[in-house]
């Protein structure tokens, strides 16, 4: 048995025994769906400077530039993306009664497309547009992008309902996520560099409350040596497939 295979066995045993499992996911889980991550080689932040285009100050100063440089490109990528084995594996763990909630930093909606029932969109959703002035929200698909930025019925600009740098996380979502982290017995941390707060702190909360932290990522991260109990070094789709198959055998 290879080292990875024996670690997947350990992870499967921990998952199969958990009454309350939670997943924290990041951009890496959607890489096999054709969506590039933010950091590292080929990452979005290599092509554009996040402080110039992904900060709330940039959006408020020049919404048209941010729409053209950031939102239009992401919208196009997400339009055709389909869930991969990483997403469907988490849905399967939920069906088996082992995973309560997916907390995702992703704005791509792929966990919901895969059928996961309880998804916390920690950084919002790119599928929803909201007005920069009034509380109105629209489905991205229902808004013709003939004019950039598109306009709300009230005449103000619309923006995707995502968290930009410099903006706070919704307090209700943050509190629920922290509570889930504190109560879970297993936390699966899949495809995140764990560098952006406050999401990156959720595995620390889980660990302090006695959870087993299982990390799935082709590369070691900030969590690997100090927080993760089991690190499965590999792409999310391939590793999740194997993990779920072994968990199912233990049930
Ligand atoms: P990052 O781009 O920081 O990290 C992606 C992680 O995915 C890295 O650790 C990669 O090693 C890993 N990875 C790459 N391919 C993978 C694969 N096939 N399977 C599994 N993992 C893989 O993305 P996040 O951690 O999600 O926030 O970034 C967090 C936040 O930073 C994002 O939500 C976004 C960004 O700025 C905002 O925009 C507010």
pLDDT of residue 41: 86
Residue 28 Cβ inside 6 Å of ligand 1? The answer reads yes
Whole-angstrom distance, CA of residue 98 vs CA of residue 13: 11
* Span 69-80, average pLDDT: 94
Q: Report the CATH number that the domain containing residue 53 is assigned in CATH.
A: 3.30.1600.10
Residue 98 Cβ inside 6 Å of ligand 1? The answer reads no
Same domain, 240 and 152: no
Whole-angstrom distance, CA of residue 155 vs CA of residue 82: 34
Residue 124 Cβ inside 6 Å of ligand 1? The answer reads no
Does pTM surpass 0.95?
yes
Give the pLDDT confidence of 142-181 residue by residue, as tens digits. Answer: 999 999 999 999 999 999 999 999 999 999 999 999 999 9
Rounded to the nearest 5 degrees, what angle is found at the Cα of 112, between the Cα atoms of 101 and 153? 115
Same domain, 29 and 145: no
Same domain, 201 and 223: yes
Centre of ligand 1 from the C-alpha of residue 151, in Å? 31
Give the pLDDT confidence of 78-111 residue by residue, as tens digits. Answer: 988 999 999 999 999 999 999 999 999 999 999 9
Same domain, 91 and 19: yes
Same domain, 98 and 73: no
Same domain, 210 and 225: yes
**251 vs 91, higher pLDDT:** 91
Same domain, 179 and 221: yes
Give the pLDDT confidence of 211-227 residue by residue, as tens digits. Answer: 999 999 999 999 999 99
Return mean pLDDT, the chain: 97
Residue 167 Cβ inside 6 Å of ligand 1? The answer reads no
Same domain, 244 and 195: yes
Same domain, 236 and 153: no
Catalytic residue among 3, 55, 87, 123: 123
Does pLDDT of 1 surpass 70? no
Does pLDDT of 139 surpass 70? yes
At 251, the pLDDT band (50, 70, 90 cuts) reads: confident
Number of structural domains in the chain = 2
> Residue 14 has which token pair?
């921990």
Q: Read out DSSP for 186-208?
A: EEEEES----STTGGGHHHHHHH
Which residue's alpha carbon is nearest to atom 22 within ligand 1? Answer: 28
- Given phi > 0 = left and psi -120 to 50 = alpha, else beta, which region is 40? left
Same domain, 70 and 131: yes
pLDDT of residue 247: 97
Distances (CA, A) of 174 to 32, 178, 179: 28, 6, 9
- Residue of 4, 24, 31, 37 with the most ligand 1 atoms within 8 Å of its CB, for mutation: 37
Of 166, 201, 175, the residue nearest 187 (C-alpha):
201
Q: Which atom of ligand 1 is nearest to the CA of 163?
A: 39
Centre of ligand 1 from the C-alpha of residue 29, in Å? 8
* Span 114-126, average pLDDT: 98
Same domain, 188 and 246: yes
Q: Under a CB-based contact definition with an 8 Å cutoff, are residues 182 and 20 in contact?
A: no
Give the pLDDT confidence of 30-58 residue by residue, as tens digits. Answer: 999 999 999 988 999 999 999 999 999 99
Same domain, 61 and 132: yes
pLDDT of residue 79: 86
Could you tell me what percent of the chain has a pLDDT over 90? 96
At 2, the pLDDT band (50, 70, 90 cuts) reads: confident
| Residue 198: domain span | 1-35+83-123+169-251
The edge-to-edge listing of strands for the beta sheet with 119-121 is 119-121, 101-104, 21-25, 186-190, 212-217, 230-233
Residue 109 Cβ inside 6 Å of ligand 1? The answer reads no
Whole-angstrom distance, CA of residue 63 vs CA of residue 57: 10
Residue 30 Cβ inside 6 Å of ligand 1? The answer reads no
Q: Report the CATH number that the domain containing residue 111 is assigned in CATH.
A: 3.40.50.1220
Centre of ligand 1 from the C-alpha of residue 185, in Å? 24
> Catalytic: 87?
no
């Amino acid at each position: 048995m290879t080292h990875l295979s024996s670690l997947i066995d350990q992870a499967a045993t921990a998952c199969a025994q958990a009454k309350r499992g939670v997943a924290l996911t990041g951009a890496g889980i959607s890489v096999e769906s054709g969506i590039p991550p933010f950091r590292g080689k080929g990452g979005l932040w290599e092509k554009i400077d996040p402080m110039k285009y992904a900060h709330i100050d940039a959006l408020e100063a020049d919404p048209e530039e941010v729409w053209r440089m950031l939102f239009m490109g992401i919208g196009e990528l997400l339009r055709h993306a389909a869930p991969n084995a990483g997403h469907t594996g988490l849905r399967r763990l939920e069906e088996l009664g082992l995973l309560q909630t997916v907390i995702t930093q992703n704005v791509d909606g792929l966990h919901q497309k895969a059928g996961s029932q309880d998804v916390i969109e920690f950084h919002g959703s790119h599928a929803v547009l909201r007005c920069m002035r009034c509380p109105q929200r629209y489905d991205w698909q229902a808004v013709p992008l003939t004019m950039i930025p598109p306009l709300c019925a009230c005449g103000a600009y619309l923006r995707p309902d995502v968290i930009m740098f410099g903006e706070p996380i919704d307090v209700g979502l943050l509190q629920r996520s922290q509570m889930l982290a504190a109560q879970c017995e297993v936390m699966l941390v899949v495809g995140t560099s764990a560098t952006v707060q406050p999401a990156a702190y959720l595995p620390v909360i889980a660990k302090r409350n006695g959870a087993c932290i299982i990390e799935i990522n082709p590369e070691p991260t900030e969590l690997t040596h100090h927080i993760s109990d089991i690190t499965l070094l590999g792409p999310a789709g391939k590793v999740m497939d194997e993990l779920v198959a072994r968990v199912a055998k233990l049930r």
